[in-house]
Structure 1
Amino acid sequence: MIPDNPVGPIKKPPAARRTPKWLTRNEQNAFLREVRGQNNKRDYAIMMLMLRAGLRVHELCELLKSDITMSARAGGVYIRGKGDKDRVVPPNSEVRSALQSYFEEREDESPYVLVSQRSKKLSVRGAQHMVENYRNRTRIEHLSCHALRHTFGHDLISAGNDLQQVAMLMGHYKEDGTPNIQMTMIYTTPGIEDLTAAVESISWT
């Protein structure tokens, strides 16, 4: 009824900086338990490549068998990244095991790492739809392909890894080809789980 807002001139408190969405350790456990429960080795390999190697969804779909080298204790995943900024991510034991199990059951001749039932190459929409299905099953509202990649970055930082190493693994590069640490700094922003652990760390009980 009044023409002016009487609280309009009052400054609002500063808003907290938005943080990227990642999965907590409990959410990761619930999510991976659901994926393993489906007994689908392809789905599990897809999740490991995003969650434990940080691949973007389009990088995942473009990945060729020839881009991957693996041995019992080492290996490399050659990734054609955004803006022609390629990188190599050494797959950890979880990724190597998931890929090996998936490759052992493959009988097709597709050169791509990931295939669908109807195509020799998994589509971006197909990967997104699969993750959406798991989001509905687990009821983890922020579960997405991008959240899985963010979880990889956040977990690397939480484990105490050097920012330059994380930038290289995430594919964060400047125009001159050097690691873009500023872009990687977003993963140092604590989530609620990190803040809870911080206050618990000084509890005497």
Structure 2
Amino acid sequence: MLIHFQEEGLRGKSATTVKTYMYCLEQFDKWLDGSGTNLEEFSRSDVQQYMDYLVAKKKSASTINKIWNAIKKYCKFAGKEECIEDISVVKAPDYKKEAPQALSRNERNRLIREIDRTGNRRDFAILMMLLNTGVRVSELVSVDRTDLEISERKGSLKVVGKGNKERVILLNAEARRAVLKHLEERTDQHTALFLSNRGKRISVRTVQNLLHKYGYHAHQLRHTFITDLQRSGVDLTLIQSLSGHSSLDILSRYSMPTQEDKQNAVEMLYKQ
């Protein structure tokens, strides 16, 4: 049933979403097995007890809601809608009312400086692409050399994002320079734009680990790109096109003040 759900029920979803949903359901299936049932025969009480179990295990609200969404999707696909009626689920934070965590100017400049000083042109190109395009890590690692077009004064990158939607990302001078420097030292014929140290297409985990070494999460670079555009006065519809976001409501989060903004405001009180 799970394989059928993956192939049919999650058709059109991104690889990351499919992986997340399948992992959540596999964990639910293990819990059901311990309770004497399975994914074909569970009842509504099993779902409620599993939600309560997750709370007792002190899982975060966002994690519980991610699992809940996977179970809801599965139940609707399997014709078990009665199993998700009136389920009590811990309320997740309303992220639309919170500003995403972006890097400050000092943090951004320090990260650029530190990776540049390593002399690793691949890592530096990855950083500059993430910071200057807002591309998702899952999109970047899937890029081939043929998806890249660079001339003296402009450049673009073709990516396939969520829902298998293709979009073209424009590259500024810093991103173009970093990628070209990276390609100059490539002597292989591999189609992938970025390779691992083993000569294979780089993985999402490798990029995540690269940034973790410096204390940052990969998605923070995407947040930084969008936040900087928003604070520069770029129109939301243009930011939506550049970032590949499907919802303007989500983008409105980037205009929300951060804790740092609030702290700076009170520190400057009566000092002007």
TM class by smaller structure: 0.7 to 0.9
Provide the C-alpha distance between the structure 1 equivalents of 2:200 and 2:270, rounded to a whole number of angstroms.
55
Provide the C-alpha distance between the structure 2 equivalents of 1:33 and 1:191, rounded to a whole number of angstroms.
25
Provide the C-alpha distance between the structure 2 equivalents of 1:31 and 1:128, rounded to a whole number of angstroms.
14
Amino acid of the structure 2 residue aligned with 1:129: N
Alpha-carbon shift at residue 190 of structure 1 (Å): 2.2
CA contact (8 A) 2:169 2:242 kept: yes
Q: Secondary structure at the match of 1:130?
A: helix
Which fold has the larger relative contact order, with Cα–Cα distance below 8 Å and residues 6 or more apart in sequence?
Answer: 1
Provide the C-alpha distance between the structure 2 equivalents of 1:150 and 1:126, rounded to a whole number of angstroms.
20
Give 1:62's aligned residue.
Answer: 142
5+ residue gaps, structure 2, are 1-93
Question: Which structure 2 residues correspond to residues 16-165 of structure 1 after superposition, within 5 A?
Answer: 17-135=97-215, 143-165=216-238
Provide the C-alpha distance between the structure 2 equivalents of 1:42 and 1:49, rounded to a whole number of angstroms.
11
Alpha-carbon shift at residue 18 of structure 1 (Å): 2.9
Q: Report which of the two structures shows the higher radius of gyration computed on alpha carbons.
A: 2
Provide, for residues 73-99 of structure 1, a one-character-per-residue CA deviation record: whole Å limited to 9, x for no partner. Answer: 112111100111221111011100100
- Asked if 1:172 corresponds to 2:252, the answer is no
Q: Secondary structure at the match of 2:156?
A: strand
Q: Secondary structure at the match of 2:212?
A: helix
Aligned residues: 178
TM-score w.r.t. length of structure 1 = 0.80
Q: Secondary structure at the match of 2:133?
A: coil
5+ residue gaps, structure 1, are 1-14, 136-142, 174-179
Alpha-carbon shift at residue 50 of structure 1 (Å): 0.9
CA contact (8 A) 2:99 2:255 kept: no
- Indicate how the Cα distance of structure 1 residues 162 and 132 shifts in structure 2: closer, same or farther if over 3 A, else same: same
Give 1:8's aligned residue.
Answer: none
- Indicate how the Cα distance of structure 1 residues 39 and 204 shifts in structure 2: closer, same or farther if over 3 A, else same: same
CA contact (8 A) 1:24 1:193 kept: no
CA contact (8 A) 1:65 1:113 kept: yes
Give 1:185's aligned residue.
Answer: 252
Provide, for residues 92-133 of structure 1, a one-character-per-residue CA deviation record: whole Å limited to 9, x for no partner. Answer: 111001001101111111101000111320011111111111
Provide the C-alpha distance between the structure 1 equivalents of 2:255 and 2:269, rounded to a whole number of angstroms.
21
Higher helix share: 2
Alpha-carbon shift at residue 164 of structure 1 (Å): 0.3
CA contact (8 A) 1:69 1:77 kept: yes
CA contact (8 A) 1:76 1:89 kept: yes
Provide the C-alpha distance between the structure 1 equivalents of 2:132 and 2:267, rounded to a whole number of angstroms.
28
Provide the C-alpha distance between the structure 1 equivalents of 2:151 and 2:265, rounded to a whole number of angstroms.
39
RMSD: 2.1
CA contact (8 A) 2:98 2:258 kept: no
Q: Secondary structure at the match of 2:158?
A: strand
Q: Secondary structure at the match of 2:168?
A: strand
Provide the C-alpha distance between the structure 1 equivalents of 2:149 and 2:210, rounded to a whole number of angstroms.
26
Amino acid of the structure 2 residue aligned with 1:124: V
CA contact (8 A) 1:157 1:163 kept: yes
Give 2:38's aligned residue.
Answer: none
Provide the C-alpha distance between the structure 2 equivalents of 1:165 and 1:81, rounded to a whole number of angstroms.
17
Amino acid of the structure 1 residue aligned with 2:249: Q
